[in-house]
């Protein structure tokens, strides 16, 4: 099953910031790879996807965290939820893990 990715304004700004910072090119590539996995298999082992209990979606959606990087200082994470609609994933934030 293939998912359509939709981005919140915050996630779109997060991605554009990565795209516009040449010093973060390696991280951008990792984020793009992770987004590709989310499109095809949100449970891909490389994403280490898990429910993120500290957040809840605007419409009470369960929020998930996926790893874009692992074992890296300030590694990037992607926060997302299913919907709206069938076969849609909404990316709510792309940020470094502190």
What letter does residue 41 receive in the DSSP assignment?
-
Nearest to 48 by CA among 18, 71, 74: 71
Determine contact, residues 56/36, Cβ cutoff 8 Å: no
What local confidence, expressed as pLDDT, does residue 40 receive?
96
- What pLDDT digit, counting tens, does each position of 15-69 carry? 999 999 998 899 999 999 999 999 999 999 999 999 998 888 888 899 999 999 8
* HEC per residue, 45-96: HHHCCEEEEEEECCCCCEEEEEECCCCCCCCEEEEEEECCCCCEEEEEEEEE
Determine contact, residues 79/89, Cβ cutoff 8 Å: no
pLDDT tier, 98 (very low <50, low <70, confident <90, very high otherwise)? low
């Amino acid at each position: 099953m293939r998912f359509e990715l939709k981005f919140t304004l915050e996630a779109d700004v997060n991605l554009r910031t990565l795209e516009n910072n040449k010093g973060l090119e390696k991280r951008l590539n990792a984020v793009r790879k992770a987004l590709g996995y989310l499109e095809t298999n949100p449970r891909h082992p490389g994403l280490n996807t898990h429910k993120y209990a500290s957040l809840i979606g605007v419409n009470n959606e369960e929020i998930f965290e996926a790893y874009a990087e692992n074992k890296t200082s300030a590694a990037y994470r992607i926060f997302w939820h299913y919907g709206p609609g069938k076969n849609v994933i909404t990316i709510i934030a792309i940020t470094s893990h502190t």
